[in-house]
Amino acid sequence: MKRIAVLASGRGSNFEAIARAVLSGKINAEVAVLIVDRKNIGAIERAEKLGINWVFVDPNGFPSREEYDSRIVAILKYLGVDLVCLAGYKKIVSAPFVDAFPGRIMNIHPTLLPSFPGLKPHEKVLKYGVNVSGATVHFVDKGVDTGPIIVQVAVPVSPDDTPETLSERILRYEHRIYPQAVKWFVDGRIELSGRKVIVKGADYSSLPVVPALEDF
Ligand code: GRF
């Protein structure tokens, strides 16, 4: 059975969505661990409620990001992790981390990438004035929010939106597209060739989620 790890730094609602999909049997995998880089965060509370092991790796204990990441990679390898899901993880993963899990690290970003990568995405979206935003699940490469795109959802932006209202509208879809992408991976349906991701047998012809949701 495939083993999943989630890395989070905050509230942990995407972690919970993935974990619940696994615990309910919708995703045929195990959540091996939640790794956090901060204490007293919602993600830890959720892990405890769900009975999932969590580990706090204290960034202050390491002289560089590479050394911090190499400790995390060691934990992930020790636990036999097949897929790493970044879910509200605030650190940029270093190149050796990416190389240790080629095509096996996913992230979710709450915009239609490649638009509005990086920090404060909803603020940037509202400032720019686009009428459609969304969310993207992608593989992680060595850039920031630049990796191959697996699935995207388009979500309308209203003239009265604040970053909070927009974030809330998008988050509901995040909780569906992230578990879906994980399920496709676990079921061996994702083909990666260069920047191009193909979900085998998926429906690429309908909005708002492309490819279409099947299980969530
Ligand atoms: C989500 O909006 C995600 O797209 C972004 O950070 C937020 C994390 O939320 N990367 P949560 O911690 O999963 O609730």
Please give the pLDDT value at position 105. Answer: 98
Residue 138 phi/psi, 5-degree rounding, is -140, 160
Residue 90 and residue 68 in contact, taking contact as beta carbons nearer than 8 Å = no
For residue 118, count other CB atoms closer than 10 A to its CB.
Answer: 11
Please state the rounded mean pLDDT for residues 120-132.
98
Against a cut of 0.85, is the pTM above it? yes
- CB within 8 Å of 78: residues ≥ 6 apart: none
Asked if residue 182 lies in contact with residue 106, where contact means CB atoms within 8 angstroms, the answer is yes
Range 101-123 average pLDDT: 98
Report the pLDDT value the prediction gives residue 88, as an integer from 0 to 100: 98
* pLDDT tens, position by position, 11-69: 999 999 999 999 999 999 999 999 999 999 999 999 999 999 999 999 999 999 999 99
State residue 25's pLDDT score: 98
**Edge to edge, what strands does the sheet with 149-156 contain?**
54-56, 29-36, 2-8, 83-86, 105-109, 132-139, 149-156, 209-210
Average pLDDT for 68-87: 98
Percentage, residues of the chain above pLDDT 90: 100
14 known ligand binder: yes
> How much is the pLDDT for 55?
98
- Using CB atoms within 10 Å of the CB of residue 188, give its burial: 0 to 12 exposed, 13 to 18 middle, 19+ buried: exposed
Q: Which of 109, 122, 138, 175 is catalytic?
A: 109
Q: At what angle do helices 121-128 and 163-186 cross, to 10 degrees?
A: 120
Q: Locate the ligand 1 atom nearest the alpha carbon of residue 108 and give its number.
A: 4
Domains delineated in the chain? 1-101 (3.40.50.170), 107-216 (3.40.50.170)
Query: Annotated catalytic, 122?
Result: no
Q: Is 88 annotated as a binding residue?
A: no
Q: What integer pLDDT is reported at residue 53 of this predicted model? A: 98
Which candidate, 200, 15, 174, 2, places its Cα nearest to that of 104?
2
